[in-house]
């Protein structure tokens, strides 16, 4: 730290609020100080709609949550720091309005900038155009970004995030898993008092026991499953998982097939991640298609699943090159080009905001405390027209 820092502007606080985890730290730093669950007293903040007096409840939760970030994690004075909030463009207006109220009125933040996560990720790579695929907890969002603008009219999203994976994994465990009690092995579904498979336990099982199987094996498995020849398939070995005072045996079938919902949908085959990526590309302006296809950026914790990236590439290449698929006739290219961010995918957007937050132009794009209190509301970033007081770039 420079001895001149006390006399200059202090680094801005960068906060990326995700549905499951929040990343927080300072601008110009290569990684967040902490990644913490987005919850207060074991209650998820984004579940505020489930509580009575949802707006008041959300405000109380955000006050407690940001008190923890400011004074327990970052150990800083909230009045002395600018704030950059990394958010999804699909964040409800009510959430943004209450968040701004908490930051400006309760913590007296000097200025706040709301920055779209998809656009922030392009700063990490220093590129002007990209097709950003964000696989988070609640859903998968696919957003084209061009010259600093999120093309929201082309945005595509599907409820295929960690939440859906956990739900699917829970169903598979209850149907196929076994439990070892002493020397006896019984089906999990036959237990009178089943252990509660919480979100944290399911996440633990997902990360320690499961993986995305290869494209070739998935093709063969799906063909055999359609013929109901499940017993003839050779899956990976079973995996033991300690669950309370029991040993839960996760079958190889569950370990390999838990993530197939990301790539297969029996009801609507186009409601999968590979199809939606190509569907979004097909709707892009013709002069931008090639640029987006050459700049695919994968962000979000879902991209860190073992085997996910290789499988996604193979699935998309198959759709592009198969004569039976419509995409082979729409596009002139046979594959897409993927960027490798200089960070883990779960905080790529945070890092982009960290870089932007270190620039001198941050003040020009932020909403300042005095202006906020003069307006007495948070201007919507879709309709902002005051260049010196933009809340969205």
Q: How far apart are CA 244 and CA 241, in angstroms?
A: 10
Do 156 and 280 fall within a single domain? Answer: yes
Which strand (E) or helix (H) includes residue 353?
helix 348-357
3-state secondary structure of 258: coil
pLDDT tens, residue order, the chain (393 aa): 444 444 457 999 999 999 999 999 999 999 999 999 999 988 999 998 888 788 999 999 999 999 999 999 999 999 999 999 999 988 898 999 999 999 999 999 999 999 999 999 999 999 999 999 999 999 999 999 999 889 999 999 999 999 999 999 999 999 999 998 878 889 999 888 888 999 999 999 999 999 999 999 998 887 776 656 666 678 899 999 998 888 999 999 999 999 999 998 876 777 899 999 999 999 999 999 999 999 999 999 999 999 999 999 999 999 998 877 788 888 888 889 999 999 999 999 999 999 999 999 999 999 999 999 888 778 765 544 444 444 444
Which of 70, 157, 60, 152 has its CA nearest to residue 101?
60
Do 134 and 282 fall within a single domain? Answer: yes
* Domain-embedded: residue 335: no
Angle at 301 between CA 299 and CA 304, to 5 degrees: 85
Q: How far apart are CA 334 and CA 323, in angstroms?
A: 12
Q: How many domains does the structure of the chain reveal?
A: 3
* Domain-embedded: residue 336: no
Q: Virtual CA dihedral for 319, 325, 331, 333, nearest 10 degrees?
A: 40
Residue 8 CB contacts under 8 Å (≥ 6 apart), including other chains: none
The structure tokens 């998982």 sit at: 241
Q: Which of 232, 262, 292 is the last residue of a domain?
A: 262
Q: What pairs with residue 249 in β-bridges? A: 178, 240
* Domain-embedded: residue 309: yes
Whichever domain contains 140, its CATH number is 3.30.420.40
Q: How far apart are CA 73 and CA 56, in angstroms?
A: 25
Q: Which of 212, 228, 262 is the last residue of a domain?
A: 262
**pTM for this predicted structure:** 0.91
Is residue 238 within 8 Å of residue 168, measured between CB atoms?
no
């Amino acid at each position: 730290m420079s001895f001149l820092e006390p006399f200059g502007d202090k680094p801005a606080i960068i906060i990326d609020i995700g549905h499951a985890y929040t990343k927080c730290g300072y601008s110009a730093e290569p990684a967040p100080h902490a990644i913490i669950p987005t919850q207060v007293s074991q209650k998820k903040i984004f579940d505020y709609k489930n509580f009575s007096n949802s707006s008041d409840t959300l405000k109380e939760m955000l006050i407690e949550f940001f008190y923890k970030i400011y004074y327990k994690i970052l150990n800083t004075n909230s009045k002395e720091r600018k704030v950059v909030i990394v958010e999804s463009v699909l964040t409800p207006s009510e959430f943004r309005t209450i968040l701004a109220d908490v930051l400006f009125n309760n913590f007296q933040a000097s200025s706040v900038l709301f920055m779209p996560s998809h656009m922030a990720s392009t700063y990490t790579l220093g590129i002007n155009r990209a097709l950003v695929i964000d696989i988070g907890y609640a859903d998968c969002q696919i957003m084209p970004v061009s010259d600093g603008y999120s093309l929201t009219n082309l945005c595509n999203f599907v409820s295929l995030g960690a939440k859906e994976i956990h739900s699917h994994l829970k169903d598979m465990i209850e149907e196929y898993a076994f439990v070892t009690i002493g020397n006896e092995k019984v089906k999990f579904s036959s237990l009178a008092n089943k252990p509660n498979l919480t979100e944290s336990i399911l996440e633990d099982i997902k990360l320690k026991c499961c993986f995305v199987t290869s494209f070739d094996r998935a093709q063969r498995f799906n063909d055999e499953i359609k013929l109901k020849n499940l017993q003839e398939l050779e899956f990976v070995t079973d995996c033991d998982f300690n669950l309370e005072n029991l040993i839960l045996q996760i079958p190889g079938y569950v370990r390999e097939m838990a993530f197939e919902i990301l790539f297969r949908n029996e009801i609507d085959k186009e409601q999968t991640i590979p199809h939606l990526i190509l569907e979004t590309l097909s709707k892009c302006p013709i002069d931008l298609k090639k640029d987006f296809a050459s700049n695919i950026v994968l962000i979000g914790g879902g991209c860190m699943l073992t085997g996910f990236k290789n499988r996604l590439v193979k699935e998309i290449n198959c759709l592009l090159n198969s004569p039976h698929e419509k995409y082979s006739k729409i596009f002139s290219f046979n594959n897409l080009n993927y960027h490798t961010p200089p960070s883990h995918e779960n905080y790529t957007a945070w890092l982009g905001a960290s870089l932007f937050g270190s620039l001198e132009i941050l003040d020009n794009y932020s909403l300042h405390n005095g202006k906020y209190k003069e307006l007495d509301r948070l201007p919507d970033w879709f309709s902002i027209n005051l260049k010196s007081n933009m809340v969205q770039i």
